[in-house]
Amino acid sequence: MSPENERIAICPGSYDPVTNGHLDIITRAASLFDRIVVGVVNQPIRKKKTLFTADERRAFIEDATTHLDNVEVTVFSNLVVDLARERGAIAIIKGLRAISDFEYEFEMAQLNNKIDKEIESVYVFARPNFSFLSSTGVKEMATFSADISDLVPEPVAVALADRLARDRD
């Protein structure tokens, strides 16, 4: 397929840190589109400070998606719709875990549609085993040394343990 006919989607998020739930959504999206651009928000508006830098978060995702030839990861600091336009994307992919996610994502979809009606919002429901999983929950569990090995890629678990140990000292 020629690059101008590629069906490209953006999969944005803070990914602080990336979880196996995020990776499941990215993997499933990669099977639906020709190319997925995972957009790592440089400094999320809804969160005051991230635990990992944007480059660290990008590297975690790149490491965890090396088996997916049609996935690339980039850091962005503008509106997700602007990133989609820059990359020639036709869709923004988001995962939904619960009704609480829906309300926020519905509002974002309407705002994105106001900015660019040509870019679709596409939602992928979390698999049941990931429906409870959030980066915030993982960080909280890791803070108290709970086993998170089945919730995040191994390098993320190691980095979380190291970062949180240093923060406790």
- Of residues 14, 58, 135, 139, which has the active-site annotation? 135
- Of residues 85, 87, 97, 163, which has the active-site annotation? 97
CB 36, CB 26: distance < 8 Å: yes
DSSP for 127-144, written as a single string: PGGGTT--HHHHHHHHHT
> Which residues does 43 contact at the CB level (< 8 Å), separation at least 6?
50, 54, 77
Paired strand residues for 37:
10, 72
- Of residues 14, 22, 58, 139, which has the active-site annotation? 22
Catalytic residue status for 97: yes
For the CA atoms of the chain, what is the radius of gyration? 16
* Helices (H), ranges, the chain: 20-30, 54-64, 80-87, 99-115, 135-143, 154-168
- Of residues 48, 49, 117, 168, which has the active-site annotation? 48
Catalytic residue status for 31: no
Catalytic residue status for 22: yes
Catalytic residue status for 135: yes
The closest alpha carbon to 147, from 166, 161, 132, belongs to 161
Q: Which residues are catalytic?
A: 22, 48, 97, 135
